[in-house]
Amino acid sequence: MDTRTKIVAPEQAGSRTAQTFLRGYFDPLLAAHAKIIGQLPGPVAVLLADPPDPLLPARSRAELVASLRGVAFVVLPLDDGSAFTPPNVQVVDELSADLDRRQSLVSHVHRRHR
């Protein structure tokens, strides 16, 4: 199965359904993300946002997240980089935690290369 078919533009997201909506940067995709998605009631829709100074382009991040089994679909960021949020749904927000995870990874890599 080509999991890239799970990636949709914001204007296509309204025709899709999921049990849980998860908003995050996934920059980069880490094992912690897979664990979180695996613990959420599925199917999970991922609402991708652009972090400040992204490491990976949105499309690359979307392809990586879409490859996870528990992900029903991935919504690309809006033109302004923010995450699409469908009306009348509760969203699990990982934006702040994602920035912390990314900084921890960057710090770890810097320490290892000294």
Q: What is the pTM of this model?
A: 0.92
Backbone angles phi, psi at 43, to 5 degrees: -75, 150
Instruction: Indicate the number of domains in the chain.
Output: 1
Q: Which residue is it, tokens 């490491």? A: 55
Backbone angles phi, psi at 46, to 5 degrees: -100, 125
Q: What is the pLDDT of residue 1?
A: 75
- The CATH number of the domain holding residue 60 is 3.40.50
Residue 100's domain spans which residues? 3-112
pLDDT in tens, 57-75: 999 999 999 999 999 999 9
Query: What is the Cα–Cα distance from 33 to 94, expressed in whole angstroms?
Result: 9
